[in-house]
Amino acid sequence: MKIGIGSDHGGYNLKELLKDYLREKAGIEVEDYGTFDSRSVDYPDFALKVARAVASGEVDRGILCCGTGIGVAITANKVPGVRAAVCSDTFSARMSREHNDANILCLGERVVGPGLALEILKVWLESEFEGGRHKRRVDKIPAVERQYIEGESVQ
């Protein structure tokens, strides 16, 4: 599995921590899309890079960090094919994989401490999509995207 990771300045320290864990402890290949220091930047720029990488298949899954995880999630979810979930607890992390097939995990450095963030990441990585009735639901999401992309009638 290859993971794309990114953050703004508000999530920079957490991104570095998670990147080191993935590379050194989990042995997972990681592509870092920035930011590369703690100077102030705009979170949509980095969320878009990771979201595009996930949507194109350049990486298998993504991780995005900002102060709350919210700004990067809002941005990433604008890219068709992306299912980005903000998780601040391990139950949500597991459900986001098992029920929603989330392909980007969003975390807030100002919300969760480093220990909890690592637990959330581990649970998210080991949880698998359950398919079945959840696949039927997830499969309806691209139809929603198409309504707006192609100007299909919205009911």
Q: Which residues bind ligand RB5 (CB under 6 A)?
A: 8, 10-11, 43, 66-68, 70-71
> Which residue in the list 9, 65, 66, 87 is annotated as catalytic?
66
Active site (annotated) includes residue 99: yes
Please say whether the beta carbons of 59 and 77 come within 8 A: no
User: What is the side-by-side strand order in the sheet with 61-66?
Assistant: 29-32, 2-7, 61-66, 104-108, 84-86
Catalytic residue among 9, 65, 87, 99: 99
Residues 6+ apart with CB under 8 A from 40: 9
For ligand RB5, which is the closer residue by CB, 4 or 10?
A: 10
Minimal distance, residue 88 CB to ligand RB5, in Å: 13
- Closest residue to ligand RB5 in the complex (CB): 71
As measured in angstroms, the least distance from the Cβ of 16 to ligand RB5 is 15
* Cβ pair 4, 63 in contact under 8 A: yes
In the complex with ligand RB5, the residue whose CB is nearer, 62 or 71, is 71
Output 6 or 11, the one with its CB closest to ligand RB5: 11
Structure tokens at 85: 């979930």
Q: Are 1 and 60 in contact (CB under 8 A)?
A: yes
Query: Which residues are known catalytic residues?
Result: 66, 99
